[in-house]
Amino acid sequence: MNTADQYLKAIYLAQRIEDGPASTGTLADLLEVSPASVNEMIGKLEERELVDHEKYKGASLTDDGLERAHNALQTYCIIERFLANVLEVEEFRDEARALESVIDDTVAERLDTIIDRPAQCPDCFDAEQDCCELLELEASGRAD
Amino acid sequence: MSLGQRVSSDHQLTRLLQIGVVLEELVESRAAHHIESLPPDERAEFDEEVEELLAEAATESADHRERLEALIDDLEAETVGYEEINALVDAQYGPPEDTDGVLYDQLANEETAYKFYDDLIEAIEASESEFAVDRERLLETLYSIREEEKEGVEEVTEVMEQRA
C-alpha cells in the first residue's frame, strides 16, 4: 500500500474517531510522523482532490478520497485477518502496521482468497481497537 | 503505521518470506483445484498445453517454496504447511467458468507473485539492516525467483494469445 493510501486510510479512521474532520495532531499520532509531514501530504492530497482541508478544523475525504480510503482499509483488514487467522500471529495489529507499506493490493487480493472476511468489510473495522470488531482470534501462534 | 517501504528487522523479513511461502502454496493448490474442477467434457477439451502449464506452475511453486523455506530455516522460524493452505483454498474455492477463466487466474497468480518479490527486493535494498541470513544469498534467491515469475507471466500470456 503506498503512502498516499495510508494517509487516506488514516484520515478515514480519524474522521470516525473524531466524528468530524481529522485534525493534524490525530493524524500525526496515527501515522507516527511529524505534524509538518502531515500538512505537506494533506496539501498534496488536496491538489489531487482526494481531501478537503479547512484551516483550524482539519481534513475531510472527498467522495473519491473516501472510495480509495475504503479500498485501503479493506486491504489492511485482509492483512490483519491473514496474520491473525492463517499465520496465527498474536501481535497482528503491530505487524500489520509494519507490513502494510510492503504488501501490494494485488497480493492482498490473493491472500483474500483463503480468509473468511465479512461482507460488510470494512464497515466493521473498529477504529479505536485498530481491528475488525468481528475478528475471531485463534488460540495460539503457529508460524512464529 | 509504518510509512516507507523497507524491511528493518529479521522478524519483519521472516514474516514477509512466510507470506511468500503461502503465495506459492496458493499457486500450487489453485492449479491442482483448477484441473480437478473441470467437468469431464471441458476436461477433454482442456488441451495438453494448458494442463502442462498448470503442472509446471505447481512444480515451480514447490521449488520456490523450498528455497524460501531454506531462508526461513536460517532465520529460525517455521512456515504454514501446504496441507493447511490447501484446506483453506478448498473451503473458499470457486472454480473458474472455463479454460480462459483458469488461464486468467493463473496469470493473476504469476503477476501477483512477481509484484510481491519485486516489492520485497526493493524493501530489502532500501534497508541498511543486517539480517541473520546472508544478504547476498537472500537477494540472489529472490532475484532468481522473481525472474522465474516474470517468465511465468510471459508463458501464460503467450498461451492466452495463441488461444485468442
What is the Cα–Cα distance from B73 to B92, expressed in whole angstroms? 30
What is the Cα–Cα distance from B20 to A102, expressed in whole angstroms? 12
Is A80 in the B-facing interface, judged by CB distances under 8 Å? no
Place of cell 534467491: B141
Residue A47 has pLDDT above 60, yes or no: yes
Binding-face residues of A in 24-63 toward B, CB within 8 A: 30-33
Which residue pairs, CB below 8 angstroms and at least 24 apart, start in B135-140?
Answer: B137/B71, B138/B13, B138/B71
Give chain B's domains with CATH numbers. 10-163 (1.20.1260.10)
Dihedral sign of CA atoms B116, B121, B126, B127 in order: positive
What is the Cα–Cα distance from A42 to A60, expressed in whole angstroms? 10
Instruction: Collect all residues with Cβ–Cβ distance below 8 Å to B143 and sequence separation of at least 6.
Output: B121
Q: Helices B10-37 and A92-99, interaxial angle, to 10°?
A: 90
Summarised one tens digit per residue, pLDDT across range A69-123 is 999 999 999 999 999 999 999 999 989 988 888 888 899 999 999 998 888 888 8
Taking CA–CA distances from A97, the nearest residue in chain B reads B1
Judge whether B35 and A107 are in contact, CB under 8 Å.
no
pLDDT at A138: 61
Taking CA–CA distances from A109, the nearest residue in chain B reads B112
Instruction: Collect all residues with Cβ–Cβ distance below 8 Å to A116 and sequence separation of at least 6.
Output: A81, A85, B91, B92
Task: Give the best residue of A93, A107, A131, A142 to mutate against chain B (max B CB count within 10 A).
Answer: A107
Question: Exposed, middle or buried: residue A40 (CB in 10 Å: 0-12, 13-18, 19+)?
Answer: exposed
Judge whether B15 and A95 are in contact, CB under 8 Å.
yes
Report the residue from A87, A113, A115 with minimal CB separation from B18. A87
Domain boundaries, chain A: 3-62, 67-132
Strand-pairing partners, residue A59, are A22, A53
DSSP result, A43-105: HHHHHTTSEEEETTTEEEE-HHHHHHHHHHHHHHHHHHHIIIIIS--TTHHHHHHHHTTTS-H
Residue range A3-62, CATH number: 1.10.10.10
Smallest CA-to-CA distance from A117 within A73, A59, A74, A83 is with: A74
A67-132 under CATH 1.10.60, yes or no: yes
Binding-face residues of B in 64-123 toward A, CB within 8 A: 77-80, 85, 88-89, 91-92, 108-109, 111-112, 115-116, 119-120, 123
pLDDT at B35: 78
Q: Residue length, chain A?
A: 144
What is the Cα–Cα distance from B146 to B94, expressed in whole angstroms? 28
Report the residue from A30, A89, A106 with minimal CB separation from B112. A106
What is the Cα–Cα distance from A5 to A69, expressed in whole angstroms? 7
Write the ipTM: 0.86
Taking CA–CA distances from B82, the nearest residue in chain A reads A86
pLDDT at B116: 94
pLDDT, averaged in runs of 10, over chain B (164 residues): 71 94 92 79 73 88 94 91 91 83 91 93 92 95 96 92 84
Query: Given an 8 Å threshold on Cβ–Cβ distance, is A99 in contact with B12?
Result: yes
Q: Which run of H or of E encompasses B18? A: helix B10-37
